Amino acid sequence: MTDIKITLKDGARAPSYQTEGSAGADVSAFLVDDYVLSPGEWAGIPTGIFMAIPEGYEVQVRPRSGLAFRNGITVLNAPGTIDSDYRGEVKVILINHSKVPFTIHNGDRIAQLVVQKVERSSFTKVAALDETERQSGGFGSTGV
């Protein structure tokens, strides 16, 4: 288990796993006033959470399936990445894909955090790449 140190603004909720098998820990909105997200609008919703993620890890911000399915609310840059050297407040970029306004209340669970190990790579410039069966085929090149 990876230990991520957090601090919270007064009254903010710590990320929490809802079941033993949950891969993501739910995070909640930390708002003074309700926020109405209009259709097609996106906004950075504060959580009141600050983290110290160990080097070699990232925390991914992912949508909550229930919000997406029932309300058309999702994370705009899913999955968002929180790098190990970031120490600012975690904010979640939510977008409203529905046709009706959606109200976010303080304490509403708005996203989930998934901790992932990452490996840095080197990028080496070469004259040519090795050939594959697929080559440059992309975006549906293997069928619908």
pLDDT digits (tens, 9 = 90+) for 47-79: 999 999 999 999 999 999 999 999 999 999 999
Whether residue 43 lies inside any domain: the answer is: yes
The domain total for the chain is 1
Residue 26 forms part of a structural domain:
yes
Q: Do the domain assignments include residue 144?
A: no
In whole angstroms, what separates CA 68 from the centre of its chain?
13
13 Cβ neighbours under 8 A, 6+ residues apart: 27, 28, 30, 48, 107
For residue 105, the model assigns a pLDDT of: 98
Q: Is residue 132 part of a domain?
A: no
pTM: 0.90
CB 72 within 8 A of CB 37: no
pLDDT attached to residue 12 = 98
Tens place of pLDDT per residue across the chain (144 aa):
899 999 999 999 999 999 999 999 999 999 999 999 999 999 999 999 999 999 999 999 999 999 999 999 999 999 999 999 999 999 999 999 999 999 999 999 999 999 999 999 999 999 999 999 888 888 877 777
Full residue range of the structural domain in which residue 11 is found? 5-117
Instruction: Calculate ∠ Cα 69-71-74, nearest 5°.
Output: 75
46 domain-assigned: yes
CATH of the domain at 45: 2.70.40.10
14 is a domain residue: yes
